[in-house]
Structure 1
């Protein structure tokens, strides 16, 4: 089947298998930030945006992106670098395997809820798993990024 979409600002037309997952499609297009973690939609490593909304690309058919705008970490590098500095300052980037999906979710959260509470942050990011940390360093980075420590 033929699909047309915009990937990180670039129009793409491709022939795909109707059962191809979006994860495999974007990686085939060279977007290596999108990681395969669980293949069940439970870990968040494969998070991308379709029309600015986060989706789990391991459980989304590429055909669903037909005619739409898909964004990966490569498409939001400047914003991602800003938040990544907070992660690094707090030691939250350990192995980094989960970072791309986590960062995509954080940036989507910022677009949807510019001034979230910590409870809103935790609820929004609940589907993003990290196997290296106890999340405290990520929470400190998020508090600083969203300016929550100033309001405490």
Structure 2
């Protein structure tokens, strides 16, 4: 089974309230960044907005196909994310068939349907290396407070 990279920037990061429930069993974790903007929403949780040109793909209901898509993207030249950067954590998981559906449900991503967040594949920069990583982004402009430092919590 292929591994899957996830860029997490909010309540799923280490030390945050949803980490224990959804992020156990990771193979590795590193500080990372993607291009975009981050907002604190009125309910207190964050929303990431990434430029459309950085979206390499949108997630589907087939986690193994999504992991294979990410693996193929890993073997091509990816642009290094430019400013503004959002900082978070890059996780490597070995269980996409279980992990992606659980996180999709948590983030309100319904492939092919109306979704709170979208799961998209973007270039992520970690330890000087650019890798394709799935992340959750809010479609449109969030109704929240922008965080100019690119880090949540502020």
TM-score range, shorter chain: under 0.3
Q: Which has the higher strand share?
A: 2
Normalising by structure 1, report the TM-score: 0.25
Which structure has more relative contact order (CA 8 Å, sep 6+)? It is 2
- Which structure has the larger Rg over C-alpha atoms? 1
Q: Which has the higher helix share?
A: 1
Normalising by structure 2, report the TM-score: 0.24
